[in-house]
Amino acid sequence: MEVRTKVVYEAPKADAVELKTERIVCDSTNYVMWFLEGGTPNTLSSQDTEWDRTGYGSVEDF
């Protein structure tokens, strides 16, 4: 079972820094848990891996 909500906290006078409450998920053990980013049930995470985007390279005339 999964329930989602999103609450955004904006730190006063801290430009571009925000705190997001993104996911509320019920796990099978029925424990209440609060945690920082990571470890969400059924979460695909690339926290150990950064994903690259290739550019389009240098111009080729035709």
Query: Are 41 and 25 spatial neighbours (Cβ–Cβ below 8 Å)?
Result: yes
Phi, psi of 19 (to 5 degrees): -115, 125
Shortest Cβ 10–another protein spacing (Å): 10
Shortest Cβ 18–another protein spacing (Å): 6
In the complex, the residues that contact another protein under the rule CB under 8 A are: 1-7, 9, 11, 13-27, 30-62
Interatomic CA distance for residues 12 and 46, integer angstroms: 30
Shortest Cβ 25–another protein spacing (Å): 4
